[in-house]
Amino acid sequence: MQDATALAEAVRRREAAPVELVEETFRRIEATEPQLNAFVTVCYEDGLAAARGELPEGPFRGVPIAIKDLTDVGGVRTTYSSRPLAENVAPADSALVRRLKAAGFVVVGKTNTPEFGSTAVTESLLNGACRNPWNLGRTPGGSSGGAAAHVAAGVLPLAHGTDGGGSIRIPASCCGLFGIKPSRGRISAAPYGDGSFALGQSGPLSWTVRDAAAFLDVAAGYEPGDAAWLPAPPRPFSQEVGAPPGRLRVAWTTEPALPYTVEEPCARAARDAAALFEELGHEVVEQTPPWQDDSVLDRFSFLWRMGPALYPADPSALEPLNELLARKALETSAVEYARQVLALQRYARLVAAFWDDVDVVVTPTLAKLPVPIGWVFDSHDPWQHFIRAAEFTPFTPAVNLTGQPAASVPFAEADGLPVGVQLIGRAGDEATLIRLAAQLEEARPWIDRRPPLLAT
């Protein structure tokens, strides 16, 4: 399996044709879908028509890609994995999809996600459970689980995901991939609003760091009306891959922001990564950001509950967790919401200031190995569904509050399952994360670590 950069080069050299790549992708989807359930919609006709047409001369000309089913592709269903929106068809491409198509990508389908992307696994009543190609009884993570599952299985080398509380980094760790959540404002949410406290960012899940960096290059940029946006970096992110990172000050910790137990394989991966970074010449210290706050999960829920309430659906038609969140949102006054947002912003400022003295923080990505299918929902109390997701992912949401970039890097295996480590950088400094991740990729290659279920 070649990465997306290599496939694009093969097209440029006329060693492969876009239609051949798309047809092979559809063959791989058909081979793996009965086991994975990674796709919500497969765009057979549109994908082949685009591949046979006049594609833009962009850096990814002719390379197939799948889009998470929370993001609009014009003329294609965006179901949000929600039964009331099962037949919702997007009227136009989102700004991100427009940019990806302009780069030459061919959209071949929409990938599975939990309802509204609200939890850390990919299971819904509408679209069913997506499964992990490393172990079909385990979750691929969420909410970008369909994206991660099909990339891990070799259907495509690169996919689009979104991350509002860890939803790129969680499945990257579960499926043994590289995934990066960019800084707030790096990639536009247009045509939708990004709000006063944007949690979610689009980003890539990929086999290689260079693919993810090149994705950011074509996806990033301001769109008119964006509330938060970043200027272009000094040079393309793709040029950071292989560039010497210099001697960085790296802090590491196994203490999560939320007060939950961290399983030993996850903690060990972070300790071992810290030791490797020291061997590579970095200054490494054991130190925890000031992110432990007993009230932060409850406050975070004030932001999280607003998502389900904003969709055009009656709360009674939603799944139990989203119904609970939507009803709580409808009962929340504007003043109380504003108070919680202000408190979270104070928290975010306190946490982000930690990076004044360090370049990168290394943590476990997750507190547990990929959990069994159904584990999050193994309770009649929907609030416990929210708590269980937090127990699984206590390292990821704080970075969505601060708006900093963070990546999950494949690092280890335990019980036949992948284990990732999280790299967190300063706001706006994806470049350092890319250089450091590429250094780790060279020192501890992961490209040949493939799951038992692999499209061939």
Catalytic residue annotation: 68, 143, 167
Return the beta strands (E) in 215-260 as ranges: 249-252
What DSSP string runs through 326-372? HHHHHTS-HHHHHHHHHHHHHHHHHHHGGGGS-SEEEEES-SSSPPB
Give the H/E segment covering residue 278: helix 264-279
| Pairing mode of beta strands 178-181, 283-286 | unpaired
Distance CA 324, CA 256 (A): 26
Scanning the structure block, which residue is given the tokens 């040949």?
448
Chain-centroid distance of CA 166 in Å reads 6
* 302 touches 283 (CB < 8 A): no
Phi first, then psi: what are they for 165, rounded to 5°? -155, 15
Residues 207, 215: Cα–Cα separation, whole Å: 12
- Measured in whole angstroms, how far is the alpha carbon of residue 204 from the centre of its chain? 7
Provide the β-strand partners of residue 420.
Answer: 410
- Measured CA to CA, the distance from residue 69 to residue 79 in angstroms comes to 6
* Sign of the alpha-carbon dihedral angle for 219, 222, 228, 233: positive
Residue 419, number of CB atoms within 10 A of its CB:
27
Cα 119 off chain centre by? 12
Tokens coding 226: 């964006």
Distance, in Å, from the CA atom of 406 to the CA atom of 132, rounded to the nearest integer, reads 23
Neighbour tally for 11: CB within 10 Å: 20
Q: In angstroms, what is the C-alpha Rg of the chain?
A: 20
